[in-house]
Amino acid sequence: MRRIHLAFLLAISGAAIAEVPDSLGPIKDFQVLTPRPFGYTIGDVIRETLIISVDREAVLDRNSLPRSRINRWLELREANVVESESDGLRRYRIELAYQSFYAPLEVKNLAIPAFKLVFNSVGQSGVPKDSESAEGSFHLDVPAWRFTMAPIRELSVLREEGLEPMRPDAPPQLPGRSGPIRGLAAAGVVGFGAGLYLAYLHGYLPWRRRGRHFGAACRTVRALSRAGEGADYSAAYAAIHHAFNGVYGQPLFSEQLDEFFLERPAYEPMRAEIKAFFVSSYEFFFGQEPKETGFPMSRLFRLCRDCYDIERNLR
């Protein structure tokens, strides 16, 4: 009843088990577990498991395992051996993975060749006995296992039915036009935004033309004032002079200030401070001690800011 139940389980799992009788002496149990014997094609891996129980004195000679290349179409890819001891027996679980490279033109019966596993006996000291003597070693015959391989495609059946062996290549898909159009639109938006920002920075926009000269000078003086005592006064003076030149429309010198105030009466309330600036600038650049200035950086920034407010309100 137990063997019938075992055969039923193996029929469900698709595995084949070979058992050995008790008359094999040191070999107490031998099973061969195999997968389904059909449905394989070129390149498939076939896994075979050997379960062996022997006397504790018997040790597997691992050199007797199959070589990596079995024949021209079959190779052994893996050979894992797990050894354990229980109930006074030495148990081996040998997992073999074969790969088939046979390319049949029709369904073909093939077989994994049989081979022999050699076991050496060891004494109580653990030293192997003479392997050439009958008492020192024995072998176990692993039977061949048959299976079937099928071709990847069957040409004869297709031709008999009037079908083409190979389907024509699929035509290439035309690239969509929406992607380039969206990319072009995005590039146009980015370019327009960059141009608008540059126009904003240079004061070319109508709502940015008011105060653009002294606005730039204020930004320069503010940045220079962060340096503290090491501030570059020459750059600050130059930025403010550049702003006056822009407002006046030409280079403005101290002897032209009266004419400047006549043409730009909005700056008349700043006459005294502007004249003081020009005097300080002349002393800074052309005086005997050019590094001395009566205009600290805070006063220069305040002059820029007041002139910026006037320039921004000009019509």
**Mean of the per-residue pLDDT values of the chain:** 81
C-alpha to C-alpha distances, 271 to 177, 212, 259, 277, nearest whole angstrom = 65, 21, 12, 10
SS3 (DSSP) at 14 = coil
Contact 74, 96 (CB under 8 A): no
18 pLDDT above the threshold of 70 = no
Report the pLDDT value the prediction gives residue 19, as an integer from 0 to 100: 46
Report the pLDDT value the prediction gives residue 110, as an integer from 0 to 100: 95
* Average pLDDT, integer, range 22-30: 75
Q: Which amino acid is at 193?
A: G
Instruction: Encode pLDDT of 239-275 as tens digits.
Output: 999 999 988 889 999 899 999 999 989 899 999 999 9
Instruction: Encode pLDDT of 186-240 as tens digits.
Output: 999 999 999 888 876 655 666 555 567 888 888 888 888 887 666 788 888 999 9
The residue among 261, 277, 257, 264 whose CA lies nearest residue 315 is 264
Q: How far apart are CA 120 and CA 137, in angstroms?
A: 4
* Helix pair angle (297-312, 271-286), 10° resolution: 130
* Average pLDDT, integer, range 44-52: 96
- The segment with the largest mean pLDDT, out of 46-50, 235-239, 309-313, is 46-50
108 pLDDT above the threshold of 80 = yes
Query: Global pTM?
Result: 0.43
SS3 (DSSP) at 162 = coil
More confident residue, 314 or 5: 314
Contact residues for 115 (Cβ-Cβ < 8 A; gap 6+): 64, 66, 142
Contact 216, 239 (CB under 8 A): yes
Confidence of residue 60 (pLDDT cuts 50, 70, 90): very high
